[in-house]
């Protein structure tokens, strides 16, 4: 499970973003990161917002539980899924969904 780390705050993982794509999609792994293609340009935080929106939709969790903790101006970003909002059973479900995204 080397792509996803569990911390006291939640799950941490990396994403690699390809902006200005023809459609929004999670397309699998890029090195040790989850690759996202997004239609937004990396201007005025639009790409970051769309990344969070796409991940929230794919993981079926609220956008407010996802945070970009590093890489706001880079293509490679570190994402935190805050676990203080979820009971243990739901944390397991989120972790399973996240693992499935890495296997696309």
Q: 6-63, pLDDT tens digit by residue?
A: 898 999 999 999 999 999 999 999 999 999 999 999 999 999 999 999 999 999 999 9
pTM value is 0.90
| Residue 60, pLDDT score | 93
Please give the Cα distance from 54 to 38 (Å, whole number).
Answer: 8
DSSP 45: T
Q: 64-89, pLDDT tens digit by residue?
A: 999 999 999 999 999 999 987 777 88
As its CATH architecture, domain 4-93 has 2-Layer Sandwich (3.30)
Query: Long-range pairs for 75-78 at CB < 8 Å and ≥24 separation?
Result: 75/16, 75/17, 75/18, 75/19, 76/14, 76/15, 76/16, 76/17, 76/33, 77/14, 77/15, 77/17, 77/48, 77/51, 78/12, 78/13, 78/14
CB atoms within 10 A of CB 90: 12
**H-state helical runs in 31-84:** 46-59
Q: Are 12 and 5 in contact (CB under 8 A)?
A: yes
Q: Give domain limits for the chain.
A: 4-93
Which tokens sit at 87? 């009971």
| Residue 1, pLDDT score | 46
């Amino acid at each position: 499970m080397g792509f996803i780390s569990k911390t006291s705050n939640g799950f941490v993982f990396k994403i690699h973003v390809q902006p200005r794509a023809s459609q929004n999609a999670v397309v699998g792994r890029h090195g040790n990161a989850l690759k996202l293609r997004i239609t937004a340009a990396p201007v005025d935080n639009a790409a970051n917002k769309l990344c969070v929106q796409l991940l929230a939709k794919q993981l079926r969790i609220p956008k407010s539980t996802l945070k970009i903790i590093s890489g706001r101006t880079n293509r490679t970003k570190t994402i935190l899924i805050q676990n203080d909002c979820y009971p243990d059973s739901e944390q397991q479900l989120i972790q399973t969904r996240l693992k499935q995204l890495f296997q696309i």
